Chain A
Amino acid sequence: MGTDRPVSAEALEERELVLSAQAGDHTAFAGLVHRHQRRAYAVARSIVLSHDDAEDAVQEGFLHAFRALERFRPEQAFGAWLHRIVANAALDIARRRKVRDADELPETLSSPHRDPAEAGELRARLARALDTLGERQRAVIVLHDVEGYKHAEIGSLLGIPEGTARSDLHHARAHLRRQLSNLRSEK
């Protein structure tokens, strides 16, 4: 950190893709989608409650990014810029979803994608515990503990101060520990 590092070939390649995409090359933009869609999905998934909503947020985010591409300065980090846009799209979807599905049970919203790694009961308990967390605290703990983001990065993604991200993480961890403590003793 803080040392002069030569620009990697990957970064140079990405810069080329960005410049070509800005010049109207759709194939170059597809290259950027290919590179960033997994990370974009992870960011979106940490904010919304379901896989489908995360996918919608990714698609909306990329579309917004494409439209705003001419305003992007190539010396910026494209990933950070894009993930911020995707996070905003996800926050928007989460807000709309909250209004629309206020009466629905959280289990139906929290069902993850087709990867049944954990038992249904365990997953349902976790989903309920996550649902009792605030939207922001949930996003912070997922971005930090699942995706490995630092507090400052989370703050930048969600538009909150670093200190808020730090305290949200602390409260979210404590909350989930409390909610799932009986589960641990049962196991």
Chain B
Amino acid sequence: MNVTRNDNGHGPDADPRVTDLLRSHYAAPQDETYWNGLEERVMLGVTRGIVRINELRPAWWSGFGEFRTADIRNAGLIAATISLLVAGATYVRKAELDATSRALAQRAAVESALPLPLEDATLTSRARLRLPDDAPERYLHPLDY
């Protein structure tokens, strides 16, 4: 077991007797049955470890089982409140959009019924005025009065 690739514990500052004592103290078991047993124990540990990992790594849906009833109720209430708020906001927004598009449609309908405006033309009202018979306008524009 001693793979000596360095100074073999006999460098200038090493005491060979202390090195020998250390080697004796730390000598690994020589019995082959010990190593066979250790190998079996290691593999048993590996197998148990795998089983434990599989137990610790449950299916994704099993997490729901850990919820308590109170947790579920609270989560449900929060979700319902949020849904109501979202639905309300959506309804109001949609109503606003509908009103705007109705107004636009009405305006478009009215505008499409009017004649096209003439270029450089000025529309004026021609209400006839009741002028006295001797009013000077009657002499200037006799056809208008």
Write the residues of chain A forming the contact surface with B, with a CB cutoff of 8 angstroms.
26, 29-30, 33-34, 37-39, 41-42, 45-46, 51, 55, 58-60, 62-63, 66-67, 112-115, 117-118, 122-123, 126-127, 130, 141-142, 144-151, 170, 173-174, 176-177, 180, 184
Bound-complex Cα distance A169 to B24 (A): 19
Write the residues of chain B forming the contact surface with A, with a CB cutoff of 8 angstroms.
1-6, 8-9, 11, 13-15, 17-19, 21-30, 35, 38-39, 41-43, 45-47, 49-50, 53
Q: Judge whether A148 and B18 touch: CB under 8 Å.
A: no
Cβ-defined partner of A150 (8 Å) among B5, B22, B27: B5
Nearest CB in chain A: distance from B49 CB, A? 5
Nearest CB in chain B: distance from A21 CB, A? 10
Between-chain CB contacts (< 8 Å), 17 pairs:
A29-B43, A29-B46, A33-B39, A37-B38, A55-B41, A63-B49, A113-B29, A130-B25, A142-B22, A146-B26, A147-B3, A148-B4, A148-B5, A150-B5, A177-B15, A180-B15, A180-B18
Q: Judge whether A58 and B49 touch: CB under 8 Å.
A: no
Known: A62-B42, A62-B46, A180-B21. A149 touches B6 (CB 8 A): yes
**10 shortest interchain CB distances as A-B pairs:** A145-B9, A148-B4, A148-B3, A62-B42, A117-B24, A177-B15, A146-B26, A63-B49, A145-B19, A66-B46
Total inter-chain residue pairs, C-beta < 8 Å? 116
Question: Which residue, A29, A62, A150, has most C-beta atoms of chain B within 10 A?
Answer: A62
Please indicate the chain B residues that have their CB under 8 angstroms from the CB of A184 in the complex: 17
Bound-complex Cα distance A173 to B16 (A): 10
Q: Judge whether B27 and A63 touch: CB under 8 Å.
A: no
Main secondary structure of the interface of B (DSSP, over half): helix
Please indicate the chain A residues that have their CB under 8 angstroms from the CB of B23 in the complex: 145-146
Please indicate the chain B residues that have their CB under 8 angstroms from the CB of A151 in the complex: 6
Q: Judge whether B26 and A45 touch: CB under 8 Å.
A: yes
Q: Judge whether B53 and A122 touch: CB under 8 Å.
A: no
Cβ-defined partner of B49 (8 Å) among A67, A142, A144: A67
Beta-carbon nearest neighbor of A112 in chain B = B25
Bound-complex Cα distance A55 to B9 (A): 25
Q: Judge whether B43 and A58 touch: CB under 8 Å.
A: no
Bound-complex Cα distance A45 to B1 (A): 13
Nearest CB in chain A: distance from B34 CB, A? 9
Bound-complex Cα distance A123 to B24 (A): 9
